[in-house]
Structure 1
Amino acid sequence: MTASALTRPGERDRLSSKIAEIDWRLVGLISIIAGVGCAMQYSIAGGSWEPWALKQMIRFGVLLVAMLVLAMVHPKWWFRAAYPMYAVLLFMVLLIEFTPLGYEPAGAGAKNWLNLGFTRIQPAEFMKIGLVLALARWYHDHTAQDARWSWKLLIPAGLIGLPFILVAKQPDLGSAMIIGLTGAVLMFLAGLSWRVIAAGIAAVVAIVPPFVMFGMHDYQRNRVLTFLSPESDPSGTGYNIIQSKIALGSGGVMGRGYGLGSQSQLEFLPERHTDFIFSTVAEEFGFLGSFTLIACYIGVILVALRIASLSYSHFGRIAASGMVAFFALFVLINGAMVMGLAPVVGVPMPLLSYGGSSMMTIMFGFGLVLSTRVHRYAELPKGQGLF
């Protein structure tokens, strides 16, 4: 009897067999988006590799290798690390709030970085992965009835609420939104009762207005109110949205051409290499270029969701779906933000925007998605949770 008859494809231990199981469509789409990001940073810098494009290219190359290495890791290690990783990352967020190790970069408006001496990190970014793994572990160890409606749901609600409150208090509204919405999406995917969902939506609708008026810092409140009417303060809080809309509209159907975007090249467009880089793409490559890029993002989401659906373990399905959820939320929120459909909250366009912490989070997340694909037949024990 051959080895292939004794083992299912995802259970073979040879490295060559695992490499063959990687979904190279997903790797290719990720590489295309990151390549476009590097090309745009080269264009924005006036046809120079410095200060952004070269660093971003090297960073992506290193993280691409790390993603493929993580794809070889068996899901049982992700499973065992879920709660400890969540606890360590939550502790780091607490260190920012209650110790001198937390600091606020110049002009950032939020104390959301942790200075460890030998390096500086942004724990809120990695908290997204820690939350997804912790929730996946919890739902794996509990019944469908517990996931639908039970007092035990207070535990995943607490897992979501703690980092959400701490990160919002920094205040880092963008990361807090991603954490809260990712958790909500996972609870929905796990089978949460529609009655609870309806009650939750009603509660959010009731809470948002007083939170905006009394719970936000003045500059955050101005951002929210200004996005409704940016023309009311065109040289102040409305400037970013107005310039972004000009860039989006000036590209037309075909765009102005690579390196010829006036809004980005003349530096009218703020944060043109980070939060508003999609506006630069629209200006230089027009509707067709923007549509093609969005199609690549949709392709990544659909392929990754397909991978999640193939997992034999509930942990694998929930974890992979959670990684897709926060990636999709990045795309949705940034896209709405640059088009003036949402307040400017500092959420980057994944793989496209310049930055290390965000790209590292995304690539590590897709490493887990690919691990789910490679080991899709792996079965994990139930009833092993800490709660």
Structure 2
Amino acid sequence: MTVSALTRPGERDRLIVKLSEIDWIFVLTLCLISGAGAVMLFSVAGSSWDPWAAKHVMRFSLCLALMIGLAMIDIRVWFALSYPIYAVGLLLLVAVEAVGDTRLGAQRWLAIGSFSFQPSEIMKLGIVMGLARFYHSASAETARLSWKLLIPATMLMAPVLLVAHQPDLGTAMLILMTGAAIIVLAGLDWRIIAGGALAFLAVVPPFVMFVMHEYQRERVLNFLHPERDPSGTGYHSLQSMIALGSGGLLGKGYGLGSQSQLNFLPEKQTDFIFATLAEEFGFLGCTSVLILYAAVIFMALRTAYISHSHFGRLAAAGTTATFTLYVLINGAMVMGLAPVVGVPMPLLSYGGTVMLTVMIGFGLVSSVRVHRYNEVASGKGSLL
């Protein structure tokens, strides 16, 4: 009598072993951050599960199941899919230029029937996997200093320029900094790093003055002097800083934040959810959540460190870099230390697209951990 592979003892035992290799403390920490998000979304909706908190919990539950499922996939399968995922993401970004939907003055979406999505979200994962695969097969000399560095530079700048043209400067910067982090971690020569940093500083002023759209330039000027237009371009930053400062050490109390509850704070459920947390739970509440974020980053980087394959190390580190940049950019934006660019606080803010992207990335990180002893042959995706 033939037994299904799903119930075959050897297959079942192997699945159990893989599940045991998942870092469940890492999973628990992600649940705590998402739980804090649900608590805050319940509060800003006037102590109601609708319209945000219930959907947030449901989405996270589905994404968590997806993450655990992706952790079961062999790292060599991820390796084999790296270039195709990057290529698909790039082609979809080109498609946005040709037939993308325009909303609020930005052409960022592709529509398939009633379903629409932003291809830039796919590229956040695609750039990590594509660059990790390139450097897995590259020699140390190539990674340090070689004309072949034009290949990863082109791989990085192509999606960055396409996303910036949509325009979506926040996502473009996120992709750029993630890719740059992978290139540096792969062993880039310090002279190129120093030269690149100087070139970046030299390019910023003319870029702001002559390349940015008017509304983007206003965001930068508002970041420098938000009080110049307190009821217009400076409104978001000023209201966020008021919410942060009014929370004090312990906060005003759950559901008692005046800035969020009275709707002075804009985008209180998405971009500025962290300001809402600060107002209601104060410095102590903010610090607690930031410790959870730091723990996630530390555990993900530890996974990168223990991986036996170069692809696994760079893929896990690159995914962690994306997550870290989300946290740093949103935190700086909320505190008035960076322009308002529409980058949410991952897992805390309301929004299914970013949550899905982050959890797929952590599925890759978890796969690296589960299959950390697997060797990946250079230039091959074979499972043999």
Q: TM-score, normalising length from structure 2?
A: 0.95
Q: Distance in 1 between matches of 2:75 and 2:288?
A: 33
Deviations 1:73-100 (A, max 9, x none): 001111010001111111111111112x
Match of residue 348 from structure 1: 344
Distance 1:279 1:110 in 2: 26
Which residues of 2 match residues 318-357 of structure 1 at below 5 A? 318-357=314-353
The letter for the 2-side match of 1:299 is A
User: Are 2:87 and 1:81 equivalent residues in the alignment?
Assistant: no
Give, in whole Å, the separation in 2 of the partners of 1:196 and 1:116: 43
Q: How far apart are the structure 2 equivalents of 1:382 and 1:157?
A: 20
Q: Distance in 1 between matches of 2:95 and 2:268?
A: 32
2:92 match: 92
**In structure 2, what residue type is equivalent to 1:76?**
R
* Aligned AA (1:37): G
| Alignment check: 8 A CA contact 1:141 1:384 kept | no
Tell me, in whole angstroms, the C-alpha distance in 2 between the residues paired with 1:287 and 1:114: 41
Q: Distance in 1 between matches of 2:364 and 2:125?
A: 10
Does 2:58 match 1:62? Answer: no
Q: After superposition, what is the alpha-carbon deviation per residue over 1:251-288, rounded to whole angstroms, capped at 9, x for unaligned?
A: 00000111111000000000000000000000000000
Q: Displacement, 1:118?
A: 4.2
Output the CA distance in 2 between the equivalents of 1:177 and 1:252: 32
Q: What is the one-letter code of the residue matched to 2:101?
A: Y
Q: CA deviation at 1:103?
A: 1.5
Which sections of structure 1, spanning at least 5 residues, go unmatched? Answer: 1-11
Report how many aligned residue pairs link the two structures. Answer: 371
After superposing on structure 2, the runs of 4+ consecutive aligned residues of structure 1 that deviate more than 6 Å are none
Measured against aligned partners, the alpha-carbon deviations of 1:327-372 in whole angstroms (never above 9, x if no partner) come to 0000000000000000001101001111111000000000000000
1:283 is the counterpart of 2:266: no
Aligned mate of 2:241, from 222, 226, 245: 245
2:38 aligned with 1:42: no
Task: Give the aligned residue type for 2:164.
Answer: A
**What secondary structure, in the 3-state scheme, does the structure 2 residue paired with 1:111 have?**
strand
Where 2:106 maps in the other structure, the secondary structure is coil
Correspondence for 2:130? 134
2:203 is aligned, of 195, 207, 214, to 207
Residue among 214, 217, 236 paired with 1:218: 214
The answer as to whether partners of 1:226 and 1:238 remain within 8 angstroms in 2 is yes
The answer for the alignment partner of 2:22 in structure 1 is 22
| 1:126, distance to aligned residue in structure 2 (A) | 1.7
Other-structure match for 2:113: 117
Q: Is the 8 A contact 1:174 1:346 kept in 2?
A: yes
Whether the 8 Å CA contact 2:80–2:380 is kept in 1: the answer is: no
- 1:103 lines up with 2:83 in the alignment: no
Aligned residue in 1 for 2:177: 181
Give the corresponding residue for 2:263. Answer: 267
Q: C-alpha separation between the residues in 2 aligned to 1:39 and 1:146?
A: 49
Deviation (angstroms), 1:109: 4.3
Rounded Cα–Cα distance in structure 1 between residues aligned with 2:349 and 2:55: 12
* Displacement of 1:13: 6.9
CA contact 1:142–1:383 (8 Å) conserved in 2:
no
Q: Which residue of 2 aligns with 1:157?
A: 153
| Contact 1:85-1:130 within 8 A present in 2 as well | yes
Answer yes or no: is the 8 Å Cα contact 1:244–1:269 preserved in 2. Answer: yes
Change (3 A) 1:109 1:280: farther
Q: Could you list the per-position Cα deviations for residues 132-190 of structure 1 after superposition, in whole angstroms to 9, with x for gaps in the alignment?
A: 00000000011011000000000000111000000000000110010000011011100
- Between stretches 110-119 and 57-66, larger displacement belongs to 110-119
SS at match of 2:110: strand
**Alpha-carbon contact 1:351-1:359 (below 8 Å) kept:** yes
Counterpart amino acid of residue 267 in structure 1: N
SS at match of 2:107: coil
Q: How far did 1:104 drift?
A: 2.9
Q: Provide the TM-score with structure 1 as the length reference.
A: 0.94
1:315-336 residue CA offsets vs partner (Å, 9 max, x unmatched) = 0000000000000000000000
CA distance in 1, matches of 2:338, 2:294: 20
Amino acid at match of 1:103: D
Which amino acid is 2:89 matched to? L
Q: Is the 8 A contact 1:82 1:137 kept in 2?
A: yes
What secondary structure, in the 3-state scheme, does the structure 2 residue paired with 1:113 have? strand
Cα offset for 1:383? 3.5
